Chain A
Amino acid sequence: MAAAESYPDDLKYHREHDWARIDGDEAVLGITWFAQDALGELVHFEAPSTGSNVKAGSSYGEVESVKAVSDVIAPLSGEVLEVNQAAVDAPETVNEDPYGSGWLIRIRLADPGEVDALLDLDAYKQVLAEQ
């Protein structure tokens, strides 16, 4: 059962429909309501391995629904500390709760300065208006 449309105002956003929750020198990453709605019910999350590095603007994995595959774009660079096993085992969790239990990975930030380049909620809403 997919979540109702929402975009929390305490998150940072990337125009490829990804979000980041900053927590000191770490960040939790995921995809936005818009992304999960466009894909439909997810059936697969191809996650990076812990210890690997993700680069801002590059793909760090894939999410797949019955009809489509999509790269997940990293909004920030860093080392993968943890992969959300719930998203791997039950990908529909991402549809149900894209900002909570449907988080994808947690990273240690390589360059906290990159956060400044991310969009706040108002700027992301502009992106949505353009879709």
Chain B
Amino acid sequence: MSTTLLRTPLYDRHVALGARLVPFAGWEMPVQYEGVIPEHRAVRADAGVFDVSHMGELEVEGPRALDLLQSLLSSDVAQVEPGHARYTLLTNERGGIVDDLIAYRVDRFRWLLVVNASNRDTDHAWLKEHEISGSDVRDVSDEYALLAVQGPHAIEKLGFGPAPWNTFAEERIDGVECMVNRTGYTGEDGCEILCMAEDAAQLWDGVLARGVTPCGLGARDTLRLEACLALHGNDITPDTDAISAGLGWTCALDKEFTGADELRRIKAEGPARKLVPFVMEDRAIPRHGMAIDGGGDVTSGTHSPTLDVGIGMGYVPSERAGVDTELQIDVRGKARRARIVKRPFYKKGEG
């Protein structure tokens, strides 16, 4: 029995562009149009657009919305003013990561959480379960479409002016009202644009008309890995604590939130394993699940189009987590050498 895959409002556009479509988190999504490598390069050098409408949007509203989010999110979100956003974690009692997300403060009593497609229902249920009187949680994902426009020329091609990272504002593109968020998952400048689902095709057409290259999930993965950004389900899960994952910086440990006690303990004692980035020194491409000598494992791996070498992230015992440590990765039965590097692999402007 096959489950029907969901489609974003832009499905027909992807088909018309000749995209290769694959299942992802229950959705039928474009993995590539022209090819992963040219699309990756377009984002690094110019501007690319990704349909990420499959992601979830949860609205949290009410006079006690802040109290609810403070108790569940790792960051001190009281500091986030309307018009600002914060990358943060939804944690469990073990300090593990239920999801990583961006929380947007729309106004004093209203928040929008943009969450991973694969965790939309879990996150909604988690928040609903903890809903307190004065806070209302709604899954508004189907009302919206989301396009990520990324690259050094993205903002200029869209005709916007500069704005600080992690802020957002209302704009119009070809008559479409949208929320333009200065956020991204590629390591480049750019924005993520939220619009009503029924306006998605018009917005997409407008972005393409401005000379932005359509890019699929394949390039999205190579770009985020070069920038050392975690992928939930691969690098971070409910079983990986935020400290081991190197995401302690998102945790306000002087605040009370789910799992704060456990995270404080792990931080004080030092984690047993750490998530580290590495480059291959032998010609090989590391892949999720491959064993690292000494008791580690690869959580993400790919060929880096910018560096032209295999790159990856994985957990290794903390005593082996230092920069320049040599690792051996079991690549389909053969031991291949790798070296831990300082994050990120790639910094914008250095390509």
**Residues of A at under 8 Å CB distance from B?**
2, 40-41, 43-44, 46, 62, 64-67, 69
B218 touches which of A43, A46, A67 (Cβ 8 Å):
A67
Which of the candidate stretches B4-12, B29-37, B69-77, B92-100 sits at the interface with the other chain? B29-37
B36 touches which of A46, A62, A67, A69 (Cβ 8 Å):
A67
Closest A residue to B32 by CB, please name it: A40
Which residues of B are found within 8 Å of A46, using beta-carbon distances? 284
Which residues of B are found within 8 Å of A64, using beta-carbon distances? 285, 303
Is B244's CB within 8 Å of the partner chain A?
no
B285–A67 CB distance below 8 A: no
State the CA gap A65–B303 with chains docked (Å).
8
B285 touches which of A2, A40, A41, A44 (Cβ 8 Å):
A44
Interface residues on B, range: 10 to 19
Is B119's CB within 8 Å of the partner chain A?
no
Q: Mark B295-314, 1 if CB is under 8 A from A, else 0.
A: 00000001101000000000
State the CA gap A64–B32 with chains docked (Å).
16
A66–B284 CB distance below 8 A: no
State the CA gap A66–B216 with chains docked (Å).
13
* Most chain A beta-carbon neighbours within 10 Å: one of B31, B218, B283, B302: B283
Is B53's CB within 8 Å of the partner chain A?
no
A41–B36 CB distance below 8 A: yes
Total A-B contacts with CB atoms under 8 angstroms apart: 35
A43–B31 CB distance below 8 A: no
Q: Which of B25-69 contact A (CB under 8 A)?
A: 31-32, 35-37
Which residues of B are found within 8 Å of A44, using beta-carbon distances? 283-285, 303
Give chain B nearest CB distance to A70 CB in angstroms: 12
Give chain B nearest CB distance to A46 CB in angstroms: 8
What 7 pairs across the A-B complex have the smallest Cβ distances? A43-B303, A66-B36, A41-B37, A66-B303, A41-B35, A67-B218, A64-B285
State the CA gap A106–B55 with chains docked (Å).
49
B283–A66 CB distance below 8 A: no
B31–A67 CB distance below 8 A: yes
Extra contacts, 7 of them, besides A40-B218, A66-B37, A66-B303 (Cβ < 8 A), are A40-B36, A43-B303, A44-B285, A46-B284, A62-B332, A66-B36, A66-B218
Give chain B nearest CB distance to A14 CB in angstroms: 22
Closest B residue to A89 by CB, please name it: B283
Is B183's CB within 8 Å of the partner chain A?
no
Closest B residue to A92 by CB, please name it: B37
Is B213's CB within 8 Å of the partner chain A?
no
Is B240's CB within 8 Å of the partner chain A?
no
Which residues of A are found within 8 Å of B302, using beta-carbon distances? 66
Give chain B nearest CB distance to A11 CB in angstroms: 25
Is B150's CB within 8 Å of the partner chain A?
no
Is B222's CB within 8 Å of the partner chain A?
yes
A-B contact pairs, 16 of them (CB 8 A): A40-B32, A40-B35, A40-B37, A40-B218, A43-B37, A43-B303, A44-B283, A44-B303, A46-B284, A64-B285, A65-B303, A66-B36, A66-B302, A67-B31, A67-B36, A69-B287
* Most chain B beta-carbon neighbours within 10 Å: one of A41, A44, A67: A67
Give chain A nearest CB distance to B291 CB in angstroms: 16
Which residues of B are found within 8 Å of A43, using beta-carbon distances? 37, 285, 303
* Most chain A beta-carbon neighbours within 10 Å: one of B218, B222, B284, B303: B303
State the CA gap A65–B219 with chains docked (Å).
12
Which residues of B are found within 8 Å of A69, using beta-carbon distances? 285, 287, 332
State the CA gap A40–B19 with chains docked (Å).
13
State the CA gap A2–B38 with chains docked (Å).
12
State the CA gap A65–B350 with chains docked (Å).
24
Which residues of A are found within 8 Å of B218, using beta-carbon distances? 40, 66-67
Give chain A nearest CB distance to B308 CB in angstroms: 8
Which residues of A are found within 8 Å of B303, using beta-carbon distances? 43-44, 64-66
Give chain B nearest CB distance to A47 CB in angstroms: 10
Which residues of A are found within 8 Å of B36, using beta-carbon distances? 40-41, 65-67
Closest B residue to A43 by CB, please name it: B303
